[in-house]
Every structure is written in C-alpha cells, then in structure tokens.
Chain A
Amino acid sequence: GQQVMQIPQYQHVQEGEDFTTYCNSSTTLSNIQWYKQRPGGHPVFLIQLVKSGEVKKQKRLTFQFGEAKKNSSLHITATQTTDVGTYFCAGESNTGKLIFGQGTTLQVKP
C-alpha cells in the first residue's frame, strides 16, 4: 500500500542554523501537505503543494514538491525557538486518503 517515508526522525540545531526535512512517497501523489505539531498539541496545517515542481514560501519556511510528485522537502532558514515541534508531511492519493510520514522532531537550542 501507499507509504510515506520522512527523514530525519530527529534534528537538534542551534538557534540560527538551518533545518531541512525530506519526504518520499512510494506512489505518485495528488498533493502533499505539511503539518506542524507542537509538544502536547495536535497537527496544524501549514501548506499544500499540488503542482509538479512547485515551490512555496512562508516567511522562513520553503516547501518544495518534486517533479515526479513523489517527494517533497521543507527547509527552515535561521531557526528560532518557536520552530520547535514535529513536522509531518502527508501525501494524499486521488481517493482522498492522506498518509502521514513518521515526522521529524526539531529541537532548537537557544
């Protein structure tokens, strides 16, 4: 069945350093979504990418969708302590099934 792999599982960075998490799907996706979950909270939607090769930015966050629509990345420039949390990618099939990657937990040292 459809699988979404995400790496790394954990990342510790010094405040001000950059951070990247990568996501790969076993199947071609209709779209890919990114969510952030703060400790003790629930996943919160960040962005959705639909087009092949799409790149979107939200302030210090840059999201990319691969040409084959099977992989994606999230890059954070100059991390801040407010970026702490677990970042999930989620691939949606054309039937509406949304499968989440395992998540990357980001720790930022001030």
Chain B
Amino acid sequence: KAGVTQTPRYLIKTRGQQVTLSCSPISGHRSVSWYQQTPGQGLQFLFEYFSETQRNKGNFPGRFSGRQFSNSRSEMNVSTLELGDSALYLCASSIGQGPYTFGSGTRLTVV
C-alpha cells in the first residue's frame, strides 16, 4: 500500500513569505502529525489532527497552522517566514494511537 506522501520535497522561500506543505496519509489512517526537524533541536512536535480536528498542539507560534480535510489529507501553513524556520518538516500518520509512519519530509529553506 502507498506510504505517506509529502509535497513538495524541497522548497526555497524568502523571509516574510508564506508557505503551504501537504501531506497525504496512509489510506485508513485518521491521525496526522507534523514535526519540525533541525540539527540542533531534534524532532519538535507541531500539531496533530484526528478526524479533521486538532487534537494536540506543540509550542510553536501562531504563524504555524494546519488543517485536515475529510479525506484525512493535511496541510501545514507557515506565514511570515523567518530564517529560523528553515528545517525538514515531517508528517506522520497513524490509525489514531500507536505506530507512526513518516513521510520523506519537505526540506524548507528560508533565505
């Protein structure tokens, strides 16, 4: 079966712009979580959506937002980009609790 698909794989944006990242979970998975990975900070939890509702939220500023659609696909948006937002953004899906399957990530570079 298809894995977790994230698009785009790479992105270069300018400070102040906004960006939208997309994640298609494994079929049947209703939970989608987003993580930011940087060399110094590891995997930082952004938020989790379950059946179109945000179920959990990390400690990121309001510039980071997300949503989940009825088909479980999820999008993450970052507004007013800062240099420090450069990172690998990983999406992971699960049935609801338990093992996550990660996508390959979107590498965002802010210049």
**Range for the number of chain A residues in contact with chain B:** 20 to 34
A43 touches B56 (CB 8 A): no
Q: A31–B102 Cα gap in the complex (Å)?
A: 18
- Taking the closest CB of chain B, its distance from the CB of A26, in whole angstroms, is 14
**Range for the number of chain B residues in contact with chain A:** 20 to 34
- For the A-B complex, the count of residue pairs with Cβ-Cβ distances under 8 Å equals 58
Residue numbers in B under 8 Å from A56 (CB-CB): none
Q: A41–B105 Cα gap in the complex (Å)?
A: 9
- Taking the closest CB of chain A, its distance from the CB of B10, in whole angstroms, is 13
A96 touches B50 (CB 8 A): yes
Closest A residue by C-beta to B104: A42
A97 touches B48 (CB 8 A): yes
Contact of A96 among B42, B97, B99, B104 (CB under 8 A): B97
Binding site for B on A (CB under 8 A): 1, 30-31, 33, 35, 41-45, 48, 88, 90, 92, 95-103
Binding site for A on B (CB under 8 A): 31, 33, 35, 42-43, 45, 48, 50, 55-56, 59, 90, 92, 96-105
